[in-house]
Chains A and B, each alone.
Chain A
């Protein structure tokens, strides 16, 4: 299990993470970010890719 944090003070809802890890991140009907705080280990690579593409560098993996 991996744990994911998003700093919502920083997040600007650009949605770049959604393309990299669609099972973890999505934009809701108002185009605001929703995400799972926990995901299976096999999502680690996708979440790391999402961290990389986040323009605000707002995503963290908590080990």
Chain B
């Protein structure tokens, strides 16, 4: 499917029992994006040069450099947060 950030999602695969997500994305142009997984990202595996900075385990977001026209395969180990958890945070703020 196509993403609204000038990119094609070649594959999205998940196994929530193993807490694993695999994402393959091909960008139309060279761009920096933020990858979000609100379960929390415990680990991420990406090709060399794609990760903009070292991941702080458990965070929701991760910055990536996407090259133009080249499929990038990402492997995520998810945490145990709930994506809807933001509601309680905002309500309590």
Q: Do A and B come from one complex?
A: no
Q: Which of A's residues lie within 8 Å of B, judged by CB? A: none
